A and B are shown apart, each in its own frame.
Chain A
Amino acid sequence: MTEDECRDVYRWILGSLEEAGATDLAQEIEVSVARGVVRAEKGETKSQASVRVPMNERQRLAEALRMLVAAASVPLMIKRVADHAAGDDEADGMFPPTIKWMSDDIDESRLDSSNITTNEVAIIQERGRDLRLEPFLEVVSIIDELVGDVDDGNR
């Protein structure tokens, strides 16, 4: 894939996310890409690297894809929570339970201090239950092709 193609696809992904209502995620990707990557200078080890340099088009595209996959995998994580929490009780039909996040200092009428409500989690949990891994793995495979096994090198 050429640099121009990578740039076009990167813009297309951001547009697709905005169309899907994932405006925050699209913005987070742009912020992350704008930060660039950390590169080790001569004489520095990887853990000492401190100089940030701009990403090239391939790195920008790979970063967008990584962040998309990470965000998209949250339903799979919530499914794991439900499954592992259930343990042997799953057979009894007691679990999997609903999951929610709440803070110490709020009451039931203000469920979303962590910006997630019981209903939202219940939807994610329910609809995520049947998610197949294939669409994820396809994109992961493309990321691997883009960046190679060495991953991000100097990050």
Chain B
Amino acid sequence: MATVSQLKASVTKLISAVGATGALQLNAKTRERAFEAYVFSLLVEAARRAGATVQLIGINSGPNPTTLVFRGGPGRLGSRAQDFVYASCELNGTRFEIHVDVEFQGSSSAVHEIDVSILDASHAATIRNNPSLLPTTRHLRGAMECKFYDSALGVALGRAFFGLVSDCGTLQVAGFFTNGSSQGLAAFLTAKKNVETFFSVTPLAPLVEARVLNVVEQALRTWARVP
């Protein structure tokens, strides 16, 4: 067991190392957004590992934007108010896109805010040409709920996400991602066969990252019938 002085030395080292980045001054909402972008990047990497060609697109500037603009809150897929970024992917002839913080219309007509989504590229293109429309969950292939560390991760979050998934038709992959943990939530979500649950998702846990990549890669390969 670490002594008090060892613990203080370790904490001092960490605060000192990170302090210069300004990260400790970020507010909770911004940390949440950073976590969503991180999960987006894991999906992009999983698509690449599945063999997809992936290109990042700025909705206004086109391929390979020098600045990646993520939504600061849920918004419309077709919005050109900012140069919002998305990933355009092609895997074994299947074309799809990965977006962050986009609103969808569910099969019940309810509007759902999906933190990170995978949808058919043709439908996304239709929506970009008709930006006042919401994409429908009929064309949604993946829905990811992202929750930055919170000691109050409760079963209610799992119920809400499961309800959303139930209103989304057939998904190739639905995942609940958090860099925290909760045994109650784990017990609830692991009982749901159509939801993958990923706790402790952080760059500090390479084995968890590897599991995320493997699960998503396999789901994409199965969907696109990659031999």
Residues of A within 8 A of B (CB): 1, 5, 8-9, 12-13, 16-17, 20-22, 24-25, 28, 32-33, 35, 37-38, 40, 45-49, 63, 65-81, 83-85, 87, 89, 94-95, 97-106, 113-116, 118, 120, 123-124, 127-128, 131-133, 135-142, 145, 151-155
Docked complex: B1-21 residues within 8 A CB-CB of A: 1-4, 6-8, 10-21
User: B152 near A16 (CB under 8 angstroms)?
Assistant: no
Q: Which 10 A-B pairs give the minimum distances between C-beta atoms? A: A114-B72, A70-B149, A84-B41, A77-B38, A22-B24, A76-B203, A47-B188, A104-B75, A47-B187, A138-B10
User: A98 near B68 (CB under 8 angstroms)?
Assistant: yes
User: B68 near A131 (CB under 8 angstroms)?
Assistant: no
A99 to chain B, nearest CB (A): 5
User: B185 near A47 (CB under 8 angstroms)?
Assistant: yes
Which applies to chain A's interface (DSSP): helix, strand, loop or mixed?
helix
| Residues of chain B with a CB closer than 8 A to A127's CB | 20-22
User: A101 near B203 (CB under 8 angstroms)?
Assistant: no
User: B75 near A84 (CB under 8 angstroms)?
Assistant: no
User: A114 near B152 (CB under 8 angstroms)?
Assistant: no
Q: With A81-B37, A142-B7 as given contacts, are A38 and B184 in contact (CB-CB < 8 Å)? A: yes
A73 to chain B, nearest CB (A): 5
B14-51 Cβ-contact flags toward A at 8 Å (1 or 0): 11111111111111111101110110111011001000
A147 to chain B, nearest CB (A): 10
A79–B204 CA distance with the chains assembled, in angstroms: 12
> Which residue of the partner chain, among B7, B22, B56, B203, contacts A85 with CB atoms under 8 Å?
B56
> Which residue of the partner chain, among A35, A37, A45, A89, contacts B64 with CB atoms under 8 Å?
A89
A-B contact pairs, 16 of them (CB 8 A): A22-B24, A32-B150, A63-B151, A66-B151, A71-B23, A72-B17, A77-B37, A85-B44, A87-B44, A87-B54, A94-B66, A100-B68, A103-B71, A114-B30, A135-B17, A136-B204
Interface range on chain B: under 10, 10 to 19, 20 to 34, or 35 or more?
Answer: 35 or more
Q: Is B62 an interface residue (CB 8 A)?
A: no
A74–B203 CA distance with the chains assembled, in angstroms: 9
> Which residue of the partner chain, among A12, A69, A140, contacts B8 with CB atoms under 8 Å?
A12
Residue of A nearest to B54 (CB): A87
A133–B205 CA distance with the chains assembled, in angstroms: 11
| Residues of chain A with a CB closer than 8 A to B6's CB | 142
A71–B32 CA distance with the chains assembled, in angstroms: 10
Residue of B nearest to A92 (CB): B64
User: B2 near A79 (CB under 8 angstroms)?
Assistant: no
Q: Is B105 an interface residue (CB 8 A)?
A: no
| Residues of chain A with a CB closer than 8 A to B127's CB | none
| Residues of chain B with a CB closer than 8 A to A106's CB | 81-82
Q: Is B179 an interface residue (CB 8 A)?
A: yes
B157 to chain A, nearest CB (A): 12
User: A116 near B25 (CB under 8 angstroms)?
Assistant: no
User: A16 near B21 (CB under 8 angstroms)?
Assistant: no
B112 to chain A, nearest CB (A): 17
User: A81 near B183 (CB under 8 angstroms)?
Assistant: no
> Which residue of the partner chain, among A16, A35, A94, A154, contacts B151 with CB atoms under 8 Å?
A35
B88 to chain A, nearest CB (A): 12
> Which residue of the partner chain, among A74, A85, A152, contacts B181 with CB atoms under 8 Å?
A152
Q: Is B169 an interface residue (CB 8 A)?
A: no
